[in-house]
A = this chain, B = another copy of it.
Amino acid sequence: MRIGELAERTGTPRRLLRYYEEQELIMPTRCANGYRDYDERFVDRVVQIRGLLDAGLPTRIIKQILPCLDKPRVIHFKDATPEMLATLEGELDRMNHRIACLTRNRDAIEEYLEVVRRSKAPEPSAPGGR
A interface with B by C-beta (< 8 Å): 48, 51-52, 54-56, 65, 68-69, 73, 75, 80, 85, 88-89, 91-92, 94-99, 101-103, 105-106, 108-113, 115-116, 119-120
A selection of 7 A-B contacts at a CB cut-off of 8 Å is A52-B101, A75-B116, A75-B119, A88-B109, A88-B112, A88-B113, A96-B106
> In the complex where A80-B116, A80-B120 touch, is A48 in contact with B98 (Cβ < 8 A)?
no
Q: With a CB–CB cut-off of 8 A, which chain B residues contact A56?
A: 54-56
> In the complex where A73-B111, A85-B113, A92-B106 touch, is A97 in contact with B51 (Cβ < 8 A)?
yes
Chain B residue nearest to A99 in the complex (CB) = B102
> In the complex where A98-B102, A120-B80 touch, is A109 in contact with B69 (Cβ < 8 A)?
yes
A47–chain B nearest beta-carbon distance, Å: 9
Q: With a CB–CB cut-off of 8 A, which chain B residues contact A116?
A: 75, 80, 85
